[in-house]
């Protein structure tokens, strides 16, 4: 099984690496690869850079896809190369996951039409305004719509990842990962402690 994470300039670190920690703990059950429009360095919004193994033109087949969010989402909403890559690849995935504003990209690509989905709570309108045929959930830690699983902001992606591991593999393995990573898994998808912050977007200052 192969999981491809789509990186772009100014992605949010934990959106990508929270889920990748959980999948990475599965060892040889899964191969984690990193993808960007072009292979090579990609800067996070916080500064630290990741290195993309593949570009859009040479990325291998993907069973699972992970799309982080972050301030860079805003520019990518106008990037047809990225939107087209999602349109080509996500429908063939077993599960496509987004974290935070990553669901705005899936919605813009038209891939969430008719499905329930969620996004970062503080900046919810960014996602909602990309797809009026999406059944946007204002209160959800994550939403499992089958092929597409979307999570709320940043840390919620880690909880979603364990839920996807539970569904694709089994609950025992998800619990082993939880213990291995000393992670206090928030296990209820519909319990959202940050729903009250809806559209109250403020950055720490």
Q: Give the C-alpha separation, 82 to 93, whole Å.
A: 16
Query: Rounded to whole angstroms, how far apart are CA atoms 196 and 12?
Result: 22
Among 6, 8, 11, 14, binds a copy of itself (CB under 8 A): 14
Is 194 a residue that touches a copy of itself (CB under 8 A)? yes
Residue 190 to residue 87: CA distance in whole angstroms: 28
- Taking contact as CB under 8 A, which single stretch among the options 26-34, 85-93, 107-115, 131-139 is the one that binds a copy of itself? 26-34
Binding footprint of a copy of itself, residue count (CB under 8 A): 53
Q: Where are the beta strands (DSSP E) in 124-166?
A: 135-136, 142-144, 148-151
Nearer to a copy of itself, 145 or 169 (CB): 169
* Residue 12 sits in the site that holds a copy of itself (CB under 8 A): yes
Which is nearest to 96 in space by CA: 58, 150, 37? 150
Beta carbon nearer to a copy of itself, 50 or 103: 50
Measured distance CA(71)–CA(45) in Å, rounded: 7
In whole angstroms, how close is the CB of 15 to a copy of itself at the nearest point? 9
Q: Is 177 in the site for a copy of itself (CB under 8 A)?
A: yes
65 torsion bin: left (phi>0), alpha (psi -120 to 50), beta (else): beta
**The only residue of 155, 167, 187, 198 in contact with a copy of itself, by rule CB under 8 A:** 155
Binding to a copy of itself by residue 179, rule CB under 8 A? yes
- Contact window for a copy of itself (CB under 8 A) among 37-45, 88-96, 108-116, 126-134: 37-45
**Does residue number 54 form part of the binding site for a copy of itself (CB under 8 A)?**
no
What is the distance between the alpha carbons of residues 130 and 120, in angstroms, rounded to a whole number?
14
Nearest to 125 by CA among 145, 151, 101, 93: 101
In this structure, the strands spanning 40-43 and 142-144 are unpaired
Residue 111 lies near a copy of itself (rule: CB under 8 A):
no
Residues that bind a copy of itself (CB under 8 A): 5, 12-14, 16-18, 20-21, 23-27, 31-34, 41, 44-51, 53, 120-122, 152-156, 173, 176-177, 179-184, 186, 193-194, 197, 202-205
């Amino acid at each position: 099984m192969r999981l491809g994470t789509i990186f772009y300039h100014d992605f949010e670190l934990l959106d990508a690496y929270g889920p990748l920690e959980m999948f990475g703990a599965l060892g040889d059950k899964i191969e984690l690869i990193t993808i960007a429009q072009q292979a090579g360095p990609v800067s996070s919004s916080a500064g630290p850079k990741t290195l993309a193994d593949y570009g859009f033109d040479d990325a291998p087949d993907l069973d699972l896809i992970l799309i982080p969010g972050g301030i860079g989402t805003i520019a990518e909403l106008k990037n047809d190369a990225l939107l087209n890559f999602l349109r080509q690849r996500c429908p063939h995935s077993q599960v496509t996951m987004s974290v935070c504003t990553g669901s705005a990209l899936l919605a813009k690509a038209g891939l969430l039409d008719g499905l329930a989905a969620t996004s970062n709570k503080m900046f919810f309108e960014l996602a909602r305004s990309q797809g009026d045929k999406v059944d946007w959930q204002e209160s959800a830690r994550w939403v499992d719509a089958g092929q597409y699983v979307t999570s709320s902001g940043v840390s919620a992606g880690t909880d979603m990842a364990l839920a996807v591991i539970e569904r694709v593999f089994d609950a025992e393995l998800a619990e082993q990962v939880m213990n291995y990573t000393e992670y206090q898994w928030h296990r209820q998808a519909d319990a959202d402690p940050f729903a009250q912050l809806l559209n109250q977007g403020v950055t720490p200052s």
